[in-house]
Amino acid sequence: MDVAERCKIIRQTLFETGHGFAVAQAKDSNGFVVWQFTQTPFGRDFYHGRYFALRDDAERDFRRRTDNYKSINKTDRQSLQSPARYCRYYSTQRPVDIGTYPKPDGNAPLVIVNYDCDRRRPVAGGLLCAWGELVYREPLAEGQARDYELAPAPEKPCPAPNAWKIPGTSTTMTGEVSYENPQTRNLSKRMEVWKGSGHG
Domain-located, residue 61: yes
Tell me: do 8 and 68 sit in the same domain: yes
Tell me: do 66 and 95 sit in the same domain: no
Domain-located, residue 146: yes
pLDDT per residue as tens digits for the range 84-136: 578 899 999 999 999 999 999 999 998 899 987 788 889 888 888 999 999 99
Secondary structure of residue 136 in the 3-state scheme: strand
Name beta bridge partners: 151: 90
Can you give the residue range of the structural domain that contains 11?
A: 3-73
Stated pTM of the model: 0.62
Q: Is the pLDDT of residue 60 over 90?
A: yes
Rounded Cα gap, residues 15 and 133, in angstroms: 16
pLDDT per residue as tens digits for the range 10-55: 999 988 888 899 999 988 778 999 999 988 888 888 999 999 999 9
Separation in Å, CA 112 to CA 86, 103, 108: 13, 12, 10
